[in-house]
């Protein structure tokens, strides 16, 4: 059957979820997340979209995006997934699909403030719901920009957030209380089936992928990208804006 067409409409926001192939934990390293933030920044410069929420987990990513034009959304996601897949495959010395099937998207009117706030909270609550931490502050989500009213250089506030109060401080306080009331729904119990634990062990291999003698280097060569000052600057600004507690001056990165 043909894939159902996405409903792309003007003045819509889209909650996007994209997962690593086989739901493998390929986004766990600090280095990969730095590059991911850099890729998002490059995509913004290219497509001029608004990013209201972001959370980079170990095997999936959440976005809340408002494209400049409705038809830009597939272009944005195609470019982002292509750029990151090519880099991460090179970094991890692997080949094949990095991302799992199509990205999931759910759209709603930008003026639907109730849904926008619920979506923001759901995205920001992901690390807490996954029992990675107790609070909402997380190096690689933009919750901190809402709580501390900081600027991470990539995301911006949704109009729904700005409607919470008469001042920015009131908006931050109300959103903080709104998030504290969040209670994640229990996920369905994982069902085991024949071969679910046996087959993966057979498929594992210790052989590394060999590079052909004449293979050309990619423009995002691992060493050049990860050592780029521009990559570190983008990541550092984002982390400092969202990490808790705030990094000590002079310390490049602080694990939260």
Give CA 19 to chain center in angstroms.
Answer: 10
Q: What is the structure's pLDDT at 134? A: 81
pLDDT one-digit tens code per residue, 119-169: 999 999 999 988 887 889 999 999 999 999 999 999 999 999 999 999 999
For 25-34, 127-136, 200-209, 243-252, which range has the lowest pLDDT when averaged over its residues? Answer: 200-209
Q: Which is more confidently placed, 236 or 192?
A: 236
Residue 50, phi then psi, degrees to nearest 5: -100, 135
Interval 76-89 mean pLDDT: 90
For 101-110, 156-165, 214-223, which range has the lowest pLDDT when averaged over its residues? Answer: 214-223
Non-local CB neighbours of 221 within 8 Å, separated by 6+ positions: 90
Q: What is the structure's pLDDT at 25? A: 83
Per-residue b/e over 110-129, b at no fewer than 16 CB within 10 Å?
beebeebbbbbbbbbbbbbe
Whether the pLDDT of residue 113 is over 90: the answer is: yes
Whether the pLDDT of residue 44 is over 90: the answer is: yes
Q: What is the structure's pLDDT at 244? A: 78
Interval 162-190 mean pLDDT: 88
Extended strands (E) in the chain? 12-19, 50-56, 60-66, 104-109
Q: Are 102 and 6 in contact (CB under 8 A)?
A: no
Q: What is the structure's pLDDT at 230? A: 87
Pairing of strands 104-109, 50-56: unpaired
Q: What is the structure's pLDDT at 189? A: 56
Global model pTM greater than 0.85? no
**What is the number of other CB atoms lying within 10 angstroms of the CB of residue 97?**
13
Domains of the chain by start residue, with CATH: 12-184+221-242 (3.30.70.1290)
Q: What is the structure's pLDDT at 24? A: 80
Q: Are 154 and 142 in contact (CB under 8 A)?
A: yes
Interval 16-42 mean pLDDT: 89
Tell me the sheet residues that pair with 55.
62, 141
* pLDDT band for position 252 (cuts 50, 70, 90): very low
Q: What is the structure's pLDDT at 192? A: 53
Give CA 232 to chain center in angstroms.
Answer: 17
Whether the pLDDT of residue 95 is over 70: the answer is: yes
* pLDDT band for position 220 (cuts 50, 70, 90): very low
């Amino acid at each position: 059957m043909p894939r159902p067409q996405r409903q792309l409409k003007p003045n819509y926001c889209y909650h996007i979820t994209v997962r690593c192939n086989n739901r493998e934990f390929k986004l766990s390293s600090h280095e990969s997340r730095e590059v991911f933030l850099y890729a998002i920044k490059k995509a913004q410069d290219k497509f001029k979209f608004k990013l209201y929420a972001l959370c980079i987990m170990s095997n999936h990513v959440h976005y809340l995006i408002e494209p400049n034009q409705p038809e830009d959304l597939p272009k944005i996601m195609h470019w982002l997934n292509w750029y990151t897949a090519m880099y991460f495959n090179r970094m991890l010395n692997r080949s094949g699909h990095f991302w799992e099937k199509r990205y999931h998207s759910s759209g709603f009117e930008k003026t639907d403030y109730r849904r926008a706030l619920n979506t923001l909270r759901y995205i920001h609550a992901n690390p807490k719901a996954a029992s990675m931490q107790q609070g909402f502050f997380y190096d690689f989500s933009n919750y901190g920009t809402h709580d501390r009213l900081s600027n991470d250089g990539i995301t911006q506030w949704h109009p729904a957030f700005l409607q919470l109060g008469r001042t920015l401080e009131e908006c931050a306080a109300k959103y903080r209380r709104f998030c504290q009331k969040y209670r994640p729904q229990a996920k369905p119990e994982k069902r085991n089936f024949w071969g679910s634990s046996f087959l993966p062990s057979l498929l594992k291999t210790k052989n590394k992928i060999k590079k052909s003698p004449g293979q050309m280097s990619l423009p995002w060569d691992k060493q050049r990208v990860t050592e780029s000052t521009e990559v570190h600057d983008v990541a550092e600004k984002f982390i400092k804006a969202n990490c808790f507690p705030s990094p000590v001056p002079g310390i490049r990165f602080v694990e939260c």
